[in-house]
């Protein structure tokens, strides 16, 4: 008999067919308590869970006694209580490789649009305001040959450094627990402590996951260390930056601008002061959202679940210690 799985994300037909070939699939809209209640028997029997968005914690695990593997269509797994999963012997699979280049592209898009005010001036042109002349009040700041500081020197950080160094002649700083000799050799990247990185970077790029250690790692004190001309970019997770402190820093000129793909609360509340600031470029958490990469992530997530439940796990596992 094929293992039963819960799918909480709609998949393209070919990937759905692949999943159906291996599993008995119940597709649900989400994994909210209401949805679990509505499909209680299917959640009880399911050995696998595949999707993205929605909390997977002790409460959900209690409703899923047969669960053996979760497969998230994301690299980040802050929605999952990994300790609770590991304790229950449930493996967690994610998609850490396929989205690397796309998220690095998004990071550069935010660097360029915040420095050169692309979205602000686009709105200005479309509002028919280009009748008057262009003056210094419309100028941006250069990107090329500036200093890019990377917090979170993983795969995405490496891909961003490559773009910044070879494409824009930028100097690269990074702060990490371990030394990245490849980044140093290939991109001339320089390791430094957080304080130095904040003081010397023209662009401070947050690519960190959300953990207890990274929560509000960038707060008022850290923003104060940045240059008044510096720009903060966040494509990691919103809560790594203290958003109230960021708003104040952007309002009072402590820093120059910000480019944000992630927020403390998502969707960002409509009344957030961030949405009223001209020096903020916002995106709706779409760092990996291209047609090609989202397909690749879903495809990897399907393969990950197949490996976890019917084959052998060789990669993409968050808690491999569970696999005995």
Which of 3, 76 has the CB closer to ligand GLV? 76
Per the annotation, the verdict on 237 as an active-site residue is yes
**266 is known as an active-site residue:** yes
Give me the least distance between CB of 289 and ligand GLV, in Å please.
Answer: 9
Establish if 209 lies at the interface with ligand GLV (CB under 6 A): yes
Q: Which of 237, 243, 256, 264 is catalytic?
A: 237
Task: Say whether 145 is catalytic.
Answer: no
Of 74 and 254, nearer to ligand GLV (C-beta) is 74
Instruction: Work out how close the CB of 288 gets to ligand GLV at its nearest, in angstroms, rounded to a whole number.
Output: 5
Which of positions 73-92 make contact with ligand GLV (CB under 6 A)? 74-76
Three-state SS across the chain?
CCCEEEEECCCCHHHHHHHHHHCEEEECCCCCHHHHHHCHHHHHHCCEEEECCCCECHHHHHCCCCCCEEEECCCCCCCECHHHHHHHCCEEECCCCCCHHHHHHHHHHHHHHHHHCHHHHHHHHHCCCCCCCCCHHHCCCCCCCCEEEEECCCHHHHHHHHHHHHHHCCEEEEECCCCCHHHHHHHCCEECCHHHHHHHCCEEEECCCCCCCCCCCECHHHHHHCCCCCEEEECCCHHHECHHHHHHHHHCCCCCEEEECCCCCCCCCCCCHHHHCCCEEECCCCCCCCHHHHHHHHHHHHHHHHHHHHCCCCCCECCHHHCC
- Show contacts with ligand GLV in window 1-60 (CB under 6 A): none
CB of 236 to ligand GLV, least distance (A): 5
Nearest position to ligand GLV, beta carbon:
76
User: Whole-number minimum distance, CB 153 to ligand GLV, in Å?
Assistant: 12
* Closest to ligand GLV by CB, 214 or 222: 214
Segment 214-253, which members bind ligand GLV (CB under 6 A)?
236-237
Per-residue mark of binding to ligand GLV, 262-301 (x: CB under 6 A)? -------------------------xx-------------
Site size toward ligand GLV (CB under 6 A) is 9
Residues lying near ligand GLV in the complex (CB under 6 A) are found at: 74-76, 99, 209, 236-237, 287-288
- Which active-site residues does the annotation give? 237, 266, 285
């Amino acid at each position: 008999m094929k293992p039963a799985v819960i799918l909480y994300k709609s998949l393209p037909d070919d990937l759905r067919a692949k999943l159906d070939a291996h599993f008995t699939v119940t597709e649900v809209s989400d994994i909210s308590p209401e949805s679990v209640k509505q499909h209680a028997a299917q959640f009880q029997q399911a050995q696998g869970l595949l999707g993205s968005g929605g909390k997977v914690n002790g409460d959900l695990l209690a409703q899923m006694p047969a669960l053996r593997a979760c497969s998230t269509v994301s690299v980040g797994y802050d929605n999952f209580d990994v300790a609770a999963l590991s304790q229950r012997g449930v493996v967690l699979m994610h998609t850490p490789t396929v989205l690397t280049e796309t998220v690095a592209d998004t990071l550069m898009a935010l660097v360029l649009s915040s420095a050169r005010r692309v979205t602000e001036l686009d709105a200005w042109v479309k509002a028919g305001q280009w009748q008057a002349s262009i003056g210094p009040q419309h100028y941006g700041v250069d990107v090329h040959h500036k200093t890019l500081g990377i917090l979170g020197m993983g795969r995405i950080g490496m891909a961003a450094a490559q773009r910044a160094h070879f494409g824009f002649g930028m100097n690269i700083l990074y702060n990490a627990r371990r030394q990245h000799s490849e980044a140093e050799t290939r991109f001339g990247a320089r390791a430094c402590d957080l304080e130095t990185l904040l003081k010397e970077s023209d662009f401070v790029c947050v690519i960190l996951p959300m953990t207890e250690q990274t929560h509000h790692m960038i707060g008022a004190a850290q923003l104060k260390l940045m240059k008044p001309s510096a720009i903060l970019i966040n494509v990691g997770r919103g809560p790594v930056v203290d958003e109230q402190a960021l708003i104040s820093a952007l309002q009072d000129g402590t820093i120059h601008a910000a480019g944000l793909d992630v927020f403390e609360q998502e969707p960002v509340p409509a009344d957030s002061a961030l949405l009223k600031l001209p020096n903020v470029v916002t995106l709706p958490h779409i760092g990996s959202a291209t047609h090609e990469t989202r397909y690749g992530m879903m495809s990897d997530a399907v393969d990950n679940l197949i490996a976890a439940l019917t084959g052998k796990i060789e990669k993409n596992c968050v808690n491999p210690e569970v696999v005995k």
